Structure 1
Amino acid sequence: MGPGTEVSVDLLVVGAGPTGLYAAYYAGFRGMSVAVADALPEVGGQIAALYPEKLVYDVAGFPAVRGQDLVDRLAEQAGRWNPVYLLGHGVTDLDDTGAGVVATTDAGARISAGAVLVCGGIGNFIPRELPVGSEYLGRGLRYFVPRLDELSGQDVVVVGGGDSALDWALSLEPVAASVTLVHRRTRFRAHERTVEQVGNSSVRVLTPYEVEKISGDGADDNGGAVSEVVVASSDGDRITLPAQSVVAALGFIADLGPIERWGLDLRRRRILVDRTMRTSRERVFAAGDIADYDGRVGLISIGFGEAALAVNHVAALLDPARSLTPGHSSDA
């Protein structure tokens, strides 16, 4: 849908990640018409864009599920109610009309909605850069791995100490020729079980070490592609590692973008909500990682529950005759 597109729905969901897709399904289940807008060209949010091959372990009903498979199932579930998708449409402005909200996108569309549910991730994610080797970005240095088979048979150095770094190391172990995990501290910031799994794997762990230098194979004037990495410890010990790929999993910096201009109460670069998932702005709700309240835990499963909670309150807001509680889906 291009410039000049006009859409009118009961609920606009901003963000087509897992929480947004489930919100679209649940709003349809509650009898609402729905539009889903996302700046990305496909559904799935950060999972589809950054981690489609990674296994997710905290979704009810799935002992483990590949990220893209989860997205596909959520899209199939939402598709039952035929939501209107505006992909490649980042929402830039929200204007109150008294009886609803009009959203404008950077692709020139206007969406009139009775309410808005913001389900984006924590804004736009800008990767924290490795202090050295930036000239090798796209030639061996990367900040995420959309497809594991791209690194098949390679010597891979993963840099970082959080969940993402350890998850990448474990995911790459079966396909890479070798995997070395480098972290500047002896302690990891990852889940204890993940740390244990890495310790029991063939992944070589180097702590406390930092990447000192990335070298190329000299195949062109720019230094070619990555061929080796030099890491140094705090006491001056140096190790040269063969590497065709370096995965710098150092985390991301959140950029809320237009959301900061929407007049919402924010905390820690997230949108503050009450126990009904309402924001400080009339008819605007939030759920998922973008939402914040005391005691919130950042899990996909939490986002699903928040989406359902928000949608039920939206339903009662748009039509006071509707019951807040939907009853059992098996009775519908």
Structure 2
Amino acid sequence: MTDQIYDVTIIGGGPAGMFAAFYCGLHELNAQLIESLPRLGGQVGALYPEKQVWDVAGMPGATGRELVASLKEQMAVAPVDTFLGETVKNVVKEDDGTFTITSEKRTSHSRAVIIALGNGAFTPRKLAVDGAEELEGAQLSYFVKRKADYAGQRVAVLGGGDSAIDIALMLEPVAKEVHLVHRRDQFRGLEHTVTQLKQSTVKLDTPYLPRALKLEDDQSVTLALKKMRSEDEAELNVDQLVVNYGFTSNNAALNEWSLDLAEERNLIKVDSMMETNVDNVYAIGDGVTYPGKVALIATGFGEAPVAVTALAKKLYPDKRMAMHSSSMGISK
């Protein structure tokens, strides 16, 4: 336990939390960032290191790994205290208005809090087919860490959303053959991405639903497929399966904290300054809601400086805050 009182504690080290930390450093706020994972980057860094990101201005097609690396470089310009591998167990608002933050490893104190947890803990929606669990970590994966691992392989990607399409297109240049298996003829991806898919060499196996898996003697996998609204069946033999049916996520940890946060559809409600119903508690990123909210990384990047600037003005009403980085005398 320490007697130090931080100006700001940022809980969550994904892209939005990292950018908020950078902005705290720019305003010379005494801040700490706490992340439960052993590395920064959140879901983007852990699940999609090689997936291209297109919704960040000025970094067209950067991979998740490249985006996180750039954010780390940016944070180094105006560093704050960063604690990795710590899960926040409780946040208590004290009678004097400060907050006591308890993690697995220590207790700290802060005058304001920014919650940047995204959608919380995330787990992939599993392939509900007998034998799938036994293939996990070998022939079956739920995300792609290194596309080079699929070089020269025959790959089947299961799913029909943006992420599944992105994975198929990402693997197309390195894999020997890529199939996209989806239970509908239509895809849920953005129109531009779907157009790219149809112009690619990715083989579309639609509308089929996986029914069974068989591990062959040569360690390849035969996928039994059932055509939707039909008695027709098909088989597909590949070397690797990548399942992308989305992820379930929850912020159950928030419910254990001693903060009575207003929620809507399990998202934290905030005002135009990103402040919650609890004074000096702000929230940003995919885990928040307000009228017009769009769940994009770019949106979280916009919310971070709004929250930091608002709380800085509350903590230091007489301090002149530079509003633009160009006026802060930053140099690399």
Aligned to 1:222: none
Aligned to 2:99: 101
Give TM-score, length-normalised by structure 2: 0.93
Identical positions, percent: 38
User: Within 1, Cα distance between the matches of 2:105 and 2:59?
Assistant: 39
Aligned to 1:290: 287
* Aligned 8 A contact 1:57 1:64 in 2: yes
Q: CA deviation at 1:176?
A: 1.0
Q: Tell me which of 233, 246, 250 is aligned to 1:238.
A: 233
User: Within 2, Cα distance between the matches of 1:128 and 1:96?
Assistant: 36
User: Within 1, Cα distance between the matches of 2:125 and 2:220?
Assistant: 19
Flag the 1:197–1:7 CA change in 2: closer, same or farther, 3 A. farther
* Aligned 8 A contact 1:6 1:109 in 2: no
Aligned to 2:326: 330
SS in 2 for 1:77: helix
Aligned to 1:299: 296
Query: 1:155-181, CA deviations, whole angstroms, 9 ceiling, x for partnerless residues?
Result: 111111111110100111111111100
Q: CA deviation at 1:136?
A: 1.5
Q: CA deviation at 1:322?
A: 3.0
* Aligned 8 A contact 1:101 1:283 in 2: no
Aligned to 2:20: 23
User: Within 2, Cα distance between the matches of 1:5 and 1:216?
Assistant: 55
* Aligned 8 A contact 1:55 1:64 in 2: yes
Aligned to 1:170: 169
Q: CA deviation at 1:5?
A: 7.0
Flag the 1:226–1:253 CA change in 2: closer, same or farther, 3 A. farther
Q: CA deviation at 1:119?
A: 1.0
Flag the 1:279–1:240 CA change in 2: closer, same or farther, 3 A. same
Give TM-score, length-normalised by structure 1: 0.93
Aligned to 1:120: 117
User: Within 2, Cα distance between the matches of 1:240 and 1:137?
Assistant: 20
Q: Tell me which of 53, 58, 61 is aligned to 2:58.
A: 61
Aligned to 1:144: 143
Letter in 2 for 1:296: K
Aligned to 1:85: 82
Q: CA deviation at 1:218?
A: 4.3
Flag the 1:73–1:5 CA change in 2: closer, same or farther, 3 A. farther
SS in 2 for 1:92: strand
Gaps of 5+ in 2: none
Letter in 2 for 1:43: L
Q: CA deviation at 1:7?
A: 5.8
User: Within 1, Cα distance between the matches of 2:86 and 2:226?
Assistant: 45
SS in 2 for 1:186: coil
Gaps of 5+ in 1: 220-224
